[in-house]
Structure 1
């Protein structure tokens, strides 16, 4: 049966990244995240699995910070060797200059990698499933999509008269499908399964 596209949000994530969110029939959400030519994540879910509210987090690519720390450490070591007179300044000064430039570049990349994410977790197991970029150049379409998604989540639960037990059972089934789609890994699924079963008992 053909589904009707009821909401769509396209976001650019860095120079080569794309995030695409599509809601069908006010019920099914498809998420596609790509970097360059390679698809990193492509999965779909029933929106009833999502919690009615989202949380906002700040995210940085911390590997740039670790690279900056490593370059700064080697820079300090080379300056110490130079200070103690254990090596020729003609040899170490160019190296120190390169390390200083590398440190500055890495810190700059770290600062520019800062992103604000709006995260929708699964309703009961709190597994993060949807990450939207908050600071995008088209805030109106972003806000309309988020408001529509929240309304779809609430209306689906309300209109179908789903109880907490129904929602937990549906969440467990949906998480199993997301595991098969490789949207979540096995340890995450097993942890969520234990959480849901404990809440049911």
Structure 2
């Protein structure tokens, strides 16, 4: 299949409707998103830290995505701190150009340069430009697409297809709202246990669901 393709292919018990493949070289990330059996999505993600995959029922997603640029402030502050320290060591070394000073300061200077580069890499990795599909009631981000990857046309086509499938899956639901809240809470707990969403994301979504329930 190409990067984004709308078709129907049978794989075991799955009928794959649409596929989007994304590659972010700066993050070393490969992502494959499959819409299958008309109402499910499978996400397979591989990056520098390993692999993970999970499945979602499209009926639990909000059909209107949100574009979101996440800023990893912790790593941004790390860049600023280590870069400033590097400059201070460099300035001190420039002011005291002796063999003794060079032997004492140079190892620290190299260490802080490496730490700055490391924080920069992690900042890029943890600050992706994404389009998020969130859970219907808890507003928890469950599906993140790298914005305009692999190309704008394929990305727009896949997002449009995904929205159409979500709406169709939602219209086929026969449960009432309280039942849907319970189902979503159960699914969010599963995704939290699998490490797909963070504990903080789960707690915030759970609080929203409990407020709606009562």
- The reply to whether TM is greater than 0.5 is yes
Change beyond 3 A, Cα 1:7–1:197: same
- 1:84-119 per-position Cα deviation (integer Å, ceiling 9, x unaligned): xxx544534984985897698679758966642101
Q: 1:54 aligns with which of 56, 65, 72?
A: 65
Q: Cα deviations across residues 16-55 of structure 1 (Å, max 9, x unaligned)?
A: 320111111121111111115821x311111111112111
Deviation at 1:182, TM superposition (A): 2.7
Structure 1 stretches of 5 or more lacking a match? none
Q: Specify which of 10, 14, 18 is matched with residue 3 of structure 1.
A: 14
- Rate the CA distance shift 1:131–1:73 in 2: closer, same or farther, 3 A: same
Question: What are the within-5 Å matches in structure 2 for residues 10-49 of structure 1?
Answer: 10-14=21-25, 16-36=28-48, 38-39=50-51, 41-49=52-60
Which residue does the alignment assign to 2:187? Answer: 174
Using the TM superposition, give the Cα deviation of residue 199 of structure 1 relative to its aligned residue in structure 2, in angstroms. Answer: 0.3
Q: Given the alignment, which residue of 163, 168, 171 partners 1:155? A: 168
Return the alpha-carbon distance in structure 1 between the equivalents of residues 141 and 98 of structure 2: 52
How far apart are the structure 1 equivalents of 2:66 and 2:83? 35
> Match for residue 118 of structure 1?
131
Gaps of 5+ in 2: 1-11
Helix, strand or coil at the partner of 1:160? coil
1:137-156 equivalences under 5 Å are: 137-156=150-169
Q: How many angstroms apart in 2 are the aligned matches of 1:189 and 1:97?
A: 41
Kept in 2, the 8 Å contact 1:116–1:135? The answer is no
| Alpha-carbon distance between aligned partners in 1 of 2:76 and 2:47, rounded to the nearest angstrom | 18
1:5 CA displacement: 0.6
- Judged with a 3 Å threshold, the aligned counterparts in structure 2 of structure 1 residues 160 and 106 are, in CA distance, closer, same or farther, namely closer
* Deviation larger for 9-18 or 178-187: 178-187
- Equivalent position of 1:76 in the other structure: 88
1: distance between equivalents of 2:135 and 2:36?
A: 19
Cα contact 2:82–2:113 (8 A) shared by 1: no
Instruction: Give, in whole Å, the separation in 1 of the partners of 2:86 and 2:172.
Output: 62
Could you tell me how far 1:65 is from its partner in structure 2?
5.7
8 Å contact from structure 1 (residues 18, 33) kept in 2 = yes
Aligned residues: 197
Contact 1:75 1:99 in 2 (8 A): no
TM-score by length of 2: 0.73
For residues 164 and 109 of structure 1, do their structure 2 counterparts lie closer, same or farther at Cα, with a shift above 3 Å needed? same
The answer as to whether partners of 1:12 and 1:18 remain within 8 angstroms in 2 is: yes
